[in-house]
Amino acid sequence: MDIRKLQRVIVDALEDVKAQDIRVFNTVGQTELFDRVILATGTSNRQTRALASHVRDEVKKAGGQVVSMEGEETGEWVLVDLGDAVVHIMQPGIRDYYRLEELWGEKPVRLKPAESPAAKAAAAMAQARKSPDAAKPPAKKPAARKPAAKKPAAAKRPTEAKKPTAAKAGVAAKKPAGKKPAAKKAAAR
């Protein structure tokens, strides 16, 4: 496996499990045993072991070779030997004490953040926003309005029932009994 691809797989695996302060050093001029030293910090024994296991699994999945792993029992400092690269995963106190950056840090390797999958996706989205030719997502259509339910017509107030007129009913009109019209009263006196 190409050393650049190997270091990318390692760094991605470390980032997946939230390793801190990841550093990659080119050791080609310092030793013939390996080409890269990768340092990372884990916050607990459990995390350092998880980081080492994830690196091992991801390298195997990518077709790389895992030579050995050491330090898994305690989890304070786990070393993963991958042939061309050696990964040191340490807790902060151990890393401060041994200061491997001073030993191997002559040629730090600058990794491009855009190479990580998350960074690639973010860069692609940023490029799509900048590009006027980029396909724009379809605008949201307003929700289709349902036709308003017909409100029942206000019930008409019941009016006094119309009495059929005498002519229409075919009945002779009767005058109400009891009261006499005023003109007739005056004539009757």
Give the model confidence (pLDDT) of 5-59 as tens digits. Answer: 999 999 999 999 999 999 999 999 898 999 999 999 999 999 999 999 999 999 9
Under DSSP, is residue 55 helix (H, G, I), strand (E, B) or coil? helix
CB atoms < 10 A from the CB of 7, how many?
23
Nearest partner of 48 among 112, 92, 81, judged by Cα: 92
Q: What percent of the chain has pLDDT over 90?
A: 50
Q: Which stretch of 33-37, 90-94, 126-130, 181-185 has the lowest confidence by average pLDDT?
A: 181-185
Residue 169 falls inside a structural domain? no
The answer as to whether 175 is a domain residue is: no
Please state, in angstroms and as integers, the Cα–Cα distance from residue 5 to each residue in 55, 64, 65, 127, 189, following that order. 13, 10, 13, 25, 132
**70 in a structural domain:** yes
Tell me which residue of 25, 10, 179 sits closest to 102, measured CA to CA.
Answer: 25
Tens digits of residue pLDDT in 170-189: 555 555 555 555 555 555 55
Question: Quick one: tokens of 144?
Answer: 């289709």
Q: Are 14 and 58 in contact (CB under 8 A)?
A: no
Q: Is residue 136 part of a domain?
A: no
pLDDT at 139: 58
Q: What's the one-letter identity of residue 28?
A: V
Among the residue ranges 62-66, 81-85, 94-98, 164-168, the one predicted with the least confidence is 164-168
- Cα separation, 188 vs 93, in Å, equals 131
How many angstroms separate the first and last alpha carbons of the chain?
137
Supply the pLDDT for residue 58.
96
Q: Quick check: is 67 in a domain?
A: yes
What pLDDT is recorded for position 95?
95
Q: By residue range, what is the domain housing residue 16?
A: 3-107
Q: How many domains does the chain have?
A: 1
d(CA 19, CA 82): 18
User: Domain of 67: which CATH number?
Assistant: 3.30.460.10
pTM of the model: 0.60
| pLDDT recorded at residue 40 | 96
Q: How far is CA 91 from the centre of its chain?
A: 31
